[in-house]
Amino acid sequence: MASRKPFTWDTTGDLPAFTDTDWMPPPSLPDGAGTAAAQSGVSGNQGQTTGQTAASVPSSETVTYAGGALVFVNSYGSGVTDAFRNEIIAAENFFQSHFVNSCTISCSFDLQSLGPGFISINNYNTIEESYAQLRSALQSHATSPDQLAAVAALNNLADPSGGAGFNIPLGEARILGLTGPASGIDDSIVLNSYYWTTSDLQSYPNDVTSSIEHEISEGAMGRIGSLGVESSNWGPMDLFRYTAAGQHDFTGGQDGQPTYFSPDGRHINTGLQFHNSDNRARCFDVYGLADWNGVGSDSNYNDPFGPGGPGSGGAGTLSPTDLSIMDVLGWTPAPATQAPAAIDDFCGTGASDILFRNVSTGDTWFEAMSNGACGWHQVGGSNPHYSVVGIGDFYGAGTSGILYRNASTGDTWFEAMSAGACAGWHQIGVTWIAAMSNGALAGWHELSGSNTSYSVVGVGDYFGNGTDILFRNASTGDTWFAAISNGSLSGWQQGGGSNTSYTAIT
């Protein structure tokens, strides 16, 4: 079992299930009366709760994400409102969009009055594995740089639990191949309506999302620590506690040293500090050892893995350090995606520019665009005997070049652009490409083998590695690709199967 509290951390109970409660000490939250009541232990402003689930909230549902393999199966109690449900799904979608593991996790959610002691509570089950079993599982599933660095460091680490073993939440255990699917609830999460009022759920959606991310990351995905003081067993996060000097520290604060996260002790973010259970004696103070303290970069209490609550200013997204934590626990990051470069981007800014040409004089300009604003750049060096027949990134450098061709001779060039000006002309044999780099001409490039019987009918990335040129014989329908690599012809490939009754559309 586990839970989330504003301005403090989590507590964990014993097997077969853990219970983490998130307590509410000072400073006060925006709901001043409720916070005062929490500190004094007397009744106060307990906010508003909903007596039943909103009509539009189903009792259960399966949450998937386009292109993702991580699935959440949710069940909702009577306290779940539309706003609460939306924030739950936002938290789950965040994890689904960032991690590619194939895994199904069952969670239950509710909003109940739990009194002034803590802001939320969750309940989760674990399995027990030896250090050798956990390390082997992490190693066999390591693919990302952080995962590989982590397992390399663990290979040099003796069992810190001394044989006590590690408790592993079921979601993490599944992705590591340590257990299979189950029919029960993996993580049961309840927000305390004493602090999360109906208006708070609507007014602070990102704070709610952060709290849900906090809970799911623990009881469903493995972000728990124990060091043998929270329970007799240890937790996966205990393996990644380091001093600022890069040394493992398993004392939980007994040595008086602050501890930080690192995959391997080499790259340490000292702005986010782990909670230490006690800096005087080896005893557990009921606050979660894998949570951030409200110090350093997290002193404003808005990181999802640290203190939080209504009005704390959470963004509803994990920090880079938080994402690295999930990564080393076995949750493999989704590949970085990058928007395709604009095919008519002469300045390398990612925005399309507009090319203009005077067909009588050959004078050529382009209008550079940035956030809807424009600036004019002359290309220069053109010739009215040449027509612009294509635009593309012939160098694979993220900047478009301009393809010119003389219809009478078949002579073809591309014009390279750099910083908004012509940087050079490049002949393509009787075909030339004007290579562009950062908006200026970078040079002319020749492509041999052109023929006046063939016209340029398109440019595109036909080989998946850069912009190529499509030629077609209008009389025979014969079609060829000129594969371009780094501004030079790397080979010809026949398209085949053409027919003069059909026109190439690119």
Look at residue 249 and tell me if it is in a domain. yes
Same domain for 163 and 30: yes
Same domain for 360 and 319: no
Residue that terminates a domain, selected from 268, 293, 328: 328
Q: Is 17 helix (H, G, I), strand (E, B) or coil?
A: strand
Same domain for 462 and 379: yes
Look-up: residue for tokens 């040449």? 386
Cβ(44)–Cβ(116) under 8 Å?
A: yes
Cβ(46)–Cβ(194) under 8 Å?
A: yes
Cβ(413)–Cβ(433) under 8 Å?
A: yes
Q: What is the DSSP string of 141-155?
A: T--SHHHHHHHHHHT
Residue that terminates a domain, selected from 281, 312, 328: 328
Same domain for 229 and 112: yes
Looking at residue 464, its amino acid is G
How many secondary structure helices (H) and strands (E) does the chain include?
Answer: 8, 22
Residue that terminates a domain, selected from 311, 328, 345: 328
How many residues can be counted in the chain? 506
Same domain for 362 and 293: no
Q: How many Cβ atoms from other residues are within 10 Å of residue 378's Cβ?
A: 14
Task: Say what the pTM is.
Answer: 0.62
Same domain for 301 and 168: yes
Look at residue 343 and tell me if it is in a domain. no
Same domain for 104 and 199: yes
Q: What is the pLDDT along the chain (506 residues), one digit of tens a residue?
A: 333 333 333 333 333 455 665 543 323 333 322 222 222 222 222 233 333 445 588 999 999 988 889 999 999 999 999 899 999 999 999 999 999 999 999 999 999 988 876 778 888 999 999 999 999 999 999 999 999 999 999 999 999 999 999 999 999 999 999 999 888 999 999 998 988 888 898 889 989 999 999 999 999 999 999 898 877 889 999 999 999 999 999 988 888 899 999 999 988 888 889 988 765 555 555 567 899 887 777 777 788 998 778 888 888 889 889 999 999 999 999 987 554 455 677 766 667 777 777 777 877 777 676 555 556 777 765 677 877 877 777 666 567 777 787 877 877 777 766 555 565 666 665 465 555 444 444 455 555 555 677 777 777 666 555 667 777 777 787 777 777 665 566 667 676 656 666 666 55
Same domain for 323 and 447: no
> Which residues neighbour 94 within 8 Å (Cβ) at sequence distance 6 or greater?
209, 213, 316, 317, 318
Cα–Cα distance for residue pair 185/98, rounded to 1 Å:
23
Look at residue 462 and tell me if it is in a domain. yes
Same domain for 318 and 281: yes
Q: State the greatest distance between any 2 C-alpha atoms of the chain, in Å, as a whole number.
A: 93
Look at residue 181 and tell me if it is in a domain. yes
Chain centre to alpha carbon of residue 187: 23
Look at residue 185 and tell me if it is in a domain. yes
Q: What is the DSSP string of 55-113?
A: TTS-SEEEE--TT--EEEEEEE-TT--HHHHHHHHHHHHHHHHHB---EEEEEEEEEE-
Look at residue 389 and tell me if it is in a domain. yes
Look at residue 371 and tell me if it is in a domain. yes
Cα–Cα distance for residue pair 61/63, rounded to 1 Å:
6
Look at residue 333 and tell me if it is in a domain. no
Cα–Cα distance for residue pair 92/94, rounded to 1 Å:
5
Q: Which structural domain range is residue 241 located in?
A: 17-328
Same domain for 42 and 104: yes
The total of structural domains in the chain comes to 2
Same domain for 428 and 302: no
Same domain for 380 and 290: no
